[in-house]
Structure 1
C-alpha cells in the first residue's frame, strides 16, 4: 500500500501544522533552493534527494517536512522515489527558471530519470517534470508527484476540475482514500480564506488523483499520469469503488511505457471568499447557506462522468438517474466547473445508460448488488431489484433541459435531441388507453414491484409521481424542440402534456388523481381504477403544484394549508414523504408500522420542489423550512440519508447531496434566481426579513450582482444594471443590455451603448413604457433603443423628462428602433401612444 509504506519509511519526517515562516532571503545552504511568487513559496532540498520540503500559501505553511513533495513509483512491492537518488542532482539557475537535472532513482530492476524545471508564470509557479524510462515498468502505484500536506485539517476539501468535491470531513478513518479522474484540484479553507489550485497538463496522457488520510493524520495527495484512464483496483466488472477504507491503493496496477514523457504542474493561489463568496445575506445564516451549497450539494458527484445524489463516501455509491434535480443543484452550486462536468456526464449517460429502444437505466453503483439479475450493462448501469423505475426516462430529459438553460449551449443540447426524443417516446408509448397518463409495468400492488423513486412502495399502473415528472419533462423539452427547429415534435409534446394535465386533475372517480375525500392527489390508480396512496404523499402533491399541473388556486391552498397544519401539530422541522400511513399492502412489509423509512420518514431531497410550491403561496412558510434545515445543519452537518419521524433523529449511513435542495430552493424560488438559455430570470418571493440581500452569481461567463429589496429587484454586471419592481429577465453582451418583461423569452428592450448604463423600469405595457436611465460615462454618446411589444403599425411618442423628443411608428410586429443622444447623465424616458 503506497502511502502506508511511505509513512513507515519516513515516519521521522512527519510534520505538524506550523506557524507562518519567514519570507526572507534564501538559505545559504547550497542544497536548498527557494522559489517564490507573490502568494506561493516553495523550498526544495537537493541533498542527494529531490524533495519540496516547504510550501507556503499566502503566509500559511501547508507543507513542512522532508517528505513534503516528491515523485515515486512502487513496482514489484518495492518503493522507489526521488527521496533516495543514485547521485546528487545538478542545479542550474537561469533568469526565468530553476532547472534540477540528474534526478535518477530506482533499483537493479528499475531506472527512472527525471529533470525538474520550476518557472514563475505570473502569480503562479509551474513545475515541469521530464521523465525517461529505459524500459517499461509495471507499476502498482505512482505519485507524479506525491504531496503530503501537514494535516488532514489543512484544507476543508478539494474541488475537482469537473465540479466534484473531495471533502476531508468524510475522511474519518486513517487510510481512507478517494480516487478521481481529473486534471485539477482546488484545495480550500473557508476559515483562512486560502486556496490552492493544482493543475496537471500531460499532453496525450490521462490524469488521475487520489486523496488519503495517512496514519500520521497528514493529507496525502498523489497525482498519477498514464496512457489510459486509471481503473479502480477492485474493478472486476462488478465492483467500481472509488472510495476505500483501510487502504491507499485505490487504483489498479498499470504499465508505464519506455521512453520520454513530460508533465507540467501549475500551483496557483486563490482567495476562497473572492472566488466562491456569495454576497451579503439578510435575514438568514449566509455562512450556513454557503457551506451547504459548497459541500453537501457536491458530494453526489462520484467522479468526472458520474453525477448523482448519493455520496461517493457510501460503500454502495449508487447514482439514481431517476432524480430530476441533479442539474438543478447546479443552480445553487453555481460553479461553471460543475455545469461543464455535468455536460460530459450526461453525454456519457446518453451513450451508455440508454438502451436502443429508449429505455433509460435508472441506476449505477459501485457494485451490482442492487440490480435485477442480469439487468445491467458492463458500464454498471442497471434496472433496480425493486421494479422498473419509470421516472428515469423523464428525469434524464429534465436534467438535459435544465442544464441547457444554465449554459445556453445550443450545440450541446442539439447533440441530445435524438436521445431525449427516444427517452420521451419510449415512455409515451406506455399510454395504452390513450388518456394522457402513462402506465407502469405493473397493474397492481399485489405484484409487489415499485415504479418510481419511492422504491419500496408498490406504485403501479397509472402513477401520479411518474406522470408529474413526465409533465415537467414534456413542457421543458417541447420548448427546446421549438428552438431546434422541430415544430412537429414541439406540438406533439405540448399536446401530450396538455392531455396529461387534464387527466391528472380529474377526480379519482373519473380516472384522475384528485381525491376530494382526502383533499390531495393520490399516488396511483391500479388497473381496476382503485386509488392508492391517499395519505398525502408530499412529493406527488408538491410536484403537482410546483410544476404547474395544479393551477387551481383553491386546491393549491387546500393542499398546502393542510400539510402545514399537520407540520405545526407534529412540530416537524421538514416535510415527510407522506403525512399519514400508506394502507396495508401498499408497501414492503418492513415499512410498517408507520412511520418507517419511505412510509413517513423525512427525506430532505424533496426540499426544492416543496419550497417552490410554498414560495408563491406563502413565502414565510417556505423560508421557515429553509431556516429549519440550516439549523439542523448547524447541529449535525446534515450528515444522514434521512431523518426519523418521531425523534427527528438522523438515520442512514449515507449523506445525500439532496440534503442541500431546500437551500437550492431558496435560491430558485425565494430569491427567484432562474438561469434560462438566453437570460437570467429574476422572480423573487422574498419576505421583509430578506430585504437588503445582495448576491453574487455566475451566469454564462458573467459575474452578476443581484439586489433584492421589497418590490425592487436589480441585476447588474460590471457595465449594465437593470432595476424593476417585478420579475424580469436580464442579459448583456459587450455593448448591449437586454430587458425581458416578466417571464417572456423575447427581449422587450435592447439598448446599445459604449458606456455603462443603469435602467430602472417604472412601467411596461404596450401603451406606456417608462424607465429612468443613468449613464456613468464622463462624455455622453448615442444610445440605440430596440423596442418590442408596441402596438403594431401605430404612432408613438418618445419623451425625455416629460418633453416630446420625436414621433415614431412601430412596424407590423410592434417593433421600433430609436437612436438618441442624451443631454444629461440621468433622464426619464417614456414611449406612449
Structure 2
C-alpha cells in the first residue's frame, strides 16, 4: 500500500504532467523536481518514474501504462558486493547534485563505498515520447573482484508483475517456473522484454556497454519480489556451478549464479533504454476460429521457448531441468521457430547452430548427441570441455541427420543463403559420416550395436535397445537427405545433390520392403517395426508411433492404403483407451527390448505419452483426416489450461503429468497446427501455404511475421489467401507468395519457381484471385483498392518455349504473344479501379 506521502507525490506528479500537456504535446514529456523532498518525478505517456536523491540515488517508483511495477525503498539502484562488503547507491557518502535541462536530468556525485573502495557515478536520464534512456558513467578507485555485480538491479514488486522476459536471442525466463524462493536464472543477453498477458503491458530494457560484456539474471527473492540484475564486466561472466564444469545457468536456494567478476579501475559507461510495448498487439496471432487462440498464443510464447538455455544452446529440455540436457538428436528445434514466429529466435538459433558447427561435430563428422550442465549423463570419458557428450545409454545416431534437418529448416525460414553456405561443409560431413554406416549397401544405415542384447540405445527413445538397422534413425535420415539435397541443388552442386537424392531413394525402397525381404514393413502387424538385429530378428512391432508417423509425414510411405491402415489402427486404440494424446508406442515392447524398469507396460518410454512427437503426428493425419489431427491439438490446449504442460511426459494409466525434465517439445502439436493444418510453411524463396483445415476452423485469419513483413493468412474451405500491405493472392489450392517492394510473385502449388510475377507502380495495391492454372490456360481475377492502379507488368514462367498464347481481358483478346526460349511470357496492362478477369491460353500461331 502506498504511504500518504507517496500518494501526495504521485498526485502532484499527475497534476504536473497534465499541466504540462498543453505546452509539451509534441514530446509528452514531464519533469518535476521537488527540491524539498529531493525527488524528481518524470516520464512520458507510458513510463513514469520517481528518482530519490536524498542521501541515496534510486528509482523508487516506476509506473508502466498505469500499472505500478516498482514501488519501495530499493527500486532501481547500483550495487557491488565483494567478499568483505556490499556497496550500493542506496547509501551515499555525500549528497549528489542535480541538473535539469529541457528533457534531460543529470545526477552527478553519486559517491558510495568506503576507505577500501570508492565508486563515483553520474546518472543521466533522457526522456522522449517513446522511451527513457538511462546513461550511467562509473569510476572505480581501484580494480576489484566482485562476488556479485548489479549495475543496476531492478526490484519489481512481486513475481506476478510479469509472466516472463524474452532475451535478444529468442529465449525466455518464464517466471511460472520460479516455484521456490531464491530460484535464479542467468542469461547472456543485452535486452529483456518483460510482459504481462493479463494487463497487456510490456517493458523492454536494453543495455549498451561498449567494450564490456553484459549478462543478466532473474531471481525470486526471499520476500517474493523479482530481482532483475544487469551485470557489466570486462570479460564474459562464467556460471559459478556445476562441479567444475561451470555451465549451470539455473540454480536454486541462492542468487549467485555467476563466478566472481573482475571489475577494472577507472571510468566505464553504459546506457539502458526503457521502452513500452503493447504485448497483445505485438503478439497478436489473429482471429483463430474454432480453437482457443489465447491458449495457442500462450503455448507458443512460453512452452515452445523454454528449451533455449542461452544463445549457444537451443534444445528440447528446459533450462529449469536439473541437469539441463540438450538433445542434438531432435529434428524439430528449427521447426518450433515456425510456430514461435519471432525473428529473434531464428537469429539466435543461427548463432547456436554456428556454435554447434564449431564445437559439437568431431573431425570425422560424428555429431555429439547431447550437452548438459554436468557430465553425469555421459559415457565415461566421452565428453568435451564444452559440455557435449555421448549419452550413457548408447550411441544415439539420429544426432547426425537431425543437425542437418535443423540447418535446412532454419534456412527455409530465414532464406539466408550466405549463412547456409557456412554450414554446408559441416552438414555434408555429418551426412557422409552416417551414410558410411551402410555396410551391406542396402540403403539402410546401421547402428553401433548389432543386437538388443547389448543393451544400448541408438535413438531418441534412448532406453529401448534399438540396434543394427533402426527404422527410427533411418526415417530421420531420409528426411535430412531430401532437405539437404535440395540445398545442394540450389547451390549448384549437382553431383552432391544427385548422390543424396539417390541414397534417399534407395533408403526409401528398402524401408518399405516387408520384413521378410529385409525391410521394416510388418505385414502381419500392419505397421513399420522399430528395428531389426543383425541376425535378422524383428523388434518393436508394437506400433511405435514416431516411427510410423515419420514414415507417413516425411513421405517414405507413399502407399495410401498402408498409411490409412496405420492411422486408422492407431485411432481405434486411442478411442479404446480414451487417451488425450498419442503415446510413444501403442502396445508393449517385448521383455529384454528395453531397460528393465520400463516393464510391465506401460511405463516411461515403453508406452507413456510424450508430447514432443505432436507435430509429426499432426502432419501424418492432416492430409488424411484433419479433424483427428485437430482433436489432439485441442486436447493439448485443454491440458495446458489445466497444468501449463510443465512436465516431461504424461503417464499412460492416469494421464497425469510426470517427470521434472520439462520439454519445449510439449508445444509441438500446436506447431503442427500452424504447419500442417493452417499450412504455414516458410520456404527459402517464398511463403508456401498448404492448408488442411476443417469446417470448424473456417474463417480463421492468422497474422504471421515473414522476413520483416506482416502477412495476413485467410483460411476458408477451399479458399485461401495471403496478403501484406500491398498485395494479396487468393487461391482454391496450395500456393506460394513472395513480395518485395512493388513486385509480387505467385507460385503455383508447390513449384519452387514463380509461375507469375506482377510489377506495379510504387505504393499501388493489387489482388490476384487465381481461377485456373493449367498447362494450356492460366486465369485470374485482378482487382485493386486504388482508384487507379496504373500500369502493371506481367511475367509468366514455366510455359512451353516458343508457343503462342492469347491474352484476354474480360473475354476479349487484347494480344497474342509467343513465349521465349526460356518459357516466359511478358506483357503490360493498364488497370483501372474495376476488377477484370485475365486469361492466358495456348493458341495456334
TM-score by length of 1: 0.97
Corresponding residue for residue 34 of structure 2? 28
- CA 1:795–1:625 in structure 2 vs 1: closer, same or farther (change >3 Å)? same
Paired residues for 1:231-250 under 5 Å: 231-250=238-257
Structure 1 residue 58 and structure 2 residue 65: aligned? yes
Structure 2 residue aligned with 1:471, among 475, 478, 483?
A: 478
Report the counterpart of residue 283 of structure 1 in structure 2: 290
| C-alpha distance in structure 2 between counterparts of 1:256 and 1:701, whole Å | 39
Greater mean alpha carbon deviation, residues 200-209 or residues 603-612 = 200-209
CA deviation after TM superposition for structure 1 residue 19, in Å? 11
Provide the residue aligned with 1:203 in structure 2: 210
* Partners of 2:835 and 2:49 in 1: CA distance: 53
1:160: how far off? 0.8
In the alignment, which residue of structure 2 is the partner of 1:738?
745
Determine whether 1:292 maps to 2:299: yes
User: 2:529 corresponds to which residue?
Assistant: 522
Aligned 1:618-629 pairs, distance under 5 A: 618-629=625-636
- Pick aligned residue for 1:372 from 375, 379, 401: 379
Name the counterpart of 1:795. 804
Q: Deviations over 1:415-439 (max 9, x none)?
A: 0000000000000000000110000
Post-superposition shift, 1:542? 0.2
Partner of 1:8: none
Aligned-residue offset at 1:812: 2.0
1:259 to 259, 266, 271: 266
Q: Deviations over 1:15-35 (max 9, x none)?
A: 99x999963323634411122
Query: Does the 8 A contact of 2:146 with 2:260 survive in 1?
Result: yes
Q: Distance in 2 between matches of 1:690 and 1:20?
A: 49
| Deviation of 1:235 (Å) | 4.5
Q: Counterparts of 2:12 and 2:307 in 1: how far apart (Å)? A: 38
2:20 is matched with none
Pairing 1:72–2:88 present: no
Give, in angstroms, the shift of residue 239 of structure 1.
4.6
CA RMSD of aligned residues (A): 1.6
Shift of 1:544: 0.2
| 1:236 Cα offset (Å) | 4.8
Work out the CA distance in 1 between the residues paired with 2:56 and 2:459. 59
Equivalent residue, structure 1, for 2:826: 817
CA distance change for structure 1 residues 235 and 651 in 2, over 3 Å: closer, same or farther? closer
| Alpha-carbon contact 1:237-1:378 (below 8 Å) kept | no
Q: Aligned residue for 2:590?
A: 583
For residue 122 of structure 1, report the CA deviation from its aligned partner.
Answer: 4.5
Residue 824 (structure 1) shift? 3.8
Question: Matches of 1:526 and 1:669 in 2, distance apart?
Answer: 34
> Does residue 771 of the first structure (1) align with residue 780 of the second (2)?
yes
Q: Does 1:646 align with 2:653?
A: yes
How far 1:660 sits from its partner (Å)?
Answer: 0.4
Q: Which residue of 189, 195, 214 corresponds with 2:221?
A: 214
CA contact under 8 A between 1:239 and 1:368: conserved in structure 2?
A: no
Instruction: Give the C-alpha shift of residue 277 in structure 1.
Output: 1.1
Equivalent of residue 616 in structure 2, options 599, 609, 616: 609
Counterpart in the other structure of 2:467: 460
The structure 1 residue matched to 2:192, chosen from 167, 185, 191, is 185
* Aligned position for 1:832: 841
- Counterpart in the other structure of 1:707: 714
Query: 1:431 aligned to 438, 442, 449, which one?
Result: 438
Instruction: Say if 2:378 and 2:390, in contact at 8 Å, map to a contact too.
Output: yes
C-alpha distance in 2 between matches for 1:697 and 1:22? 41
Residues paired across the two proteins, number: 820
Deviation of 1:104 after TM superposition, in Å, equals: 1.0
Task: Within 5 Å, give how 1:673-688 maps onto structure 2.
Answer: 673-688=680-695
Post-superposition offset of 1:802: 1.2
- Give a deviation string over 1:100-123, Cα, whole Å, max 9, x none: 110111112111111011112450
CA distance in 2, matches of 1:256, 1:785: 63
Distance 1:77 1:412 in 2: 49
What is the aligned partner in structure 1 of residue 321 from structure 2? 314
- Could you tell me which residue of structure 2 aligns to residue 6 of structure 1? none
Query: In the alignment, is the contact (CA less than 8 A) between 1:32 and 1:45 conserved in 2?
Result: yes
Could you say which residue in structure 2 is the equivalent of 1:44?
51
For 1:445, the equivalent position in structure 2 comes to 452
What SS does the corresponding residue of 1:158 show, helix, strand or coil?
strand
Q: Using the alignment, how far apart are the partners of 1:20 and 1:438 within structure 2? A: 74
Post-superposition Cα deviations, 1:318-350, rounded to whole Å, max 9, x if no partner, equal: 100000000000011111110000000000011
Which secondary structure state, in structure 1, belongs to the residue aligned with residue 348 of structure 2?
helix
Paired residues of 1:35 and 1:41 also in contact (CA < 8 A): yes
Aligned counterparts of 2:407 and 2:817: Cα–Cα separation in 1: 43
Q: CA deviation at 1:780?
A: 3.5
Which residue number in structure 1 is paired with residue 28 of structure 2? none
Q: Following TM superposition, by how much is the alpha carbon of 1:654 offset from its aligned partner in structure 2, in angstroms?
A: 2.5
- Secondary structure (helix, strand or coil) at the match of 1:617 reads coil
State the alpha-carbon separation in 2 of the partners of residues 715 and 69 from structure 1: 46
Distance 2:658 2:180 in 1: 20
Spell out, residue by residue over 1:416-465, the C-alpha distance to the aligned partner (whole angstroms, 9 max, x if none): 00000000000000000011000000000111001000000000000000
Residue of structure 1 in register with 2:23 after alignment: none
**Per-residue Cα deviation, 1:512-552 (whole angstroms, up to 9, x for no partner):** 00000110000001101211101000000000000000000
Measure the CA separation in 1 of the matches of 2:827 and 2:280.
Answer: 43
Partner of residue 807 from structure 1, selected from 800, 813, 816? 816
Aligned match of 1:783: 792
Does the Cα contact within 8 Å between 2:788 and 2:832 map onto a contact in 1? no
**CA distance in 2: counterparts of 1:651 and 1:588, whole angstroms:** 18
Aligned equivalents of 1:785, 1:19: Cα separation in 2: 62
Q: Hey, what does 1:762 align to over in structure 2?
A: 771
Alpha-carbon distance, 1:616 to partner = 0.5
- Range 436-445 or range 776-785, more displaced: 776-785
Q: Counterpart of 2:790 in 1: which secondary structure?
A: coil
- The answer as to 2:388 corresponding to 1:397 is no
Q: Residue 27 and residue 102 in structure 1: after superposition, are their counterparts in 2 closer, same or farther (change >3 A)?
A: closer
CA distance in 1, matches of 2:267, 2:435: 56
Aligned to 1:554: 561
